[in-house]
Amino acid sequence: MQIIRSDDDVREGLEHLLRLDPRLGPVAGEAGKIPLRLREPGFEGLAHIIVSQMVSRASAEAIWRRMQPEHGVLRADNYVLLHSEAWREFGLSRAKAETLSRVAGAVAAGQLDLLALSARPPREALAELTAVKGVGPWTAEVYLIFCGGHADIFPSGDVALQNAVAAAFGLGTRPPARELASMATEWSPWRSVAARLFWAYYAVKLGRGVLPVD
């Protein structure tokens, strides 16, 4: 199983994609350099993705600053020791706070090994993550791409990706998740690079970054 850990890996994947699907050539030409944007696998990386969902970048950054420990990284075994109202001080929604608590509890108890997911087959890794209540497919897919380094995952439910593919291929409407997932099978085993490509393309089209991680 291919694991992405460097810009060279992204370049290798893109070269493979351009051979697989010539339609991606003009997309790559407009997208420019494709960001790697990797975080270390573990609780902190998953927590950052959960915090960043459905809020502006400025809001996510403010919440994240309040959550950061004074020294070191945000660890599950420390998070579970926080007092019950800490989430209000951070500015988290109740739903996100509950999800983070469940994830931290599972990690601290040894029931969820976020580091090991990098080496697990995508289907198994996704199933293990989404077994935690509150962790949906998009969250799990983004974690495995940007923290786990998985090379063959495409978050077809991501609206930016749907819009990017529609614009790139001249579709009348953005494809629904199931249709986009079917389209993306053509880009295996480098679907995560294809996702990065379309996020980069969409960012250029809109003039702002849209990757789900910083």
pLDDT in tens, 148-200: 999 999 999 999 999 999 999 999 899 999 999 999 999 999 999 999 999 99
What residues have CB less than 8 Å from 208, skipping those under 6 apart? none
Whether this prediction's pTM lies above 0.75 is answered by yes
125-139 pLDDT per residue, tens: 999 999 999 999 999
Structural domains of the chain sorted by starting position, each given as residue range(s) with its CATH number in brackets: 7-38+152-206 (1.10.1670.40), 43-146 (1.10.340.30)
Region of 2 on the Ramachandran plot (φ > 0 left; ψ -120 to 50 alpha; else beta): beta
Cβ pair 154, 132 in contact under 8 A: no
> Is residue 208 scored above 70 in pLDDT?
no
Cβ pair 192, 1 in contact under 8 A: no
Phi then psi for 150, rounded to 5 degrees? -60, 140
Q: Which of 49, 98, 104, 44 is nearest to 80 (CA)?
A: 104
Q: Give the C-alpha separation, 102 to 57, whole Å.
A: 24
pLDDT at site 157: 95
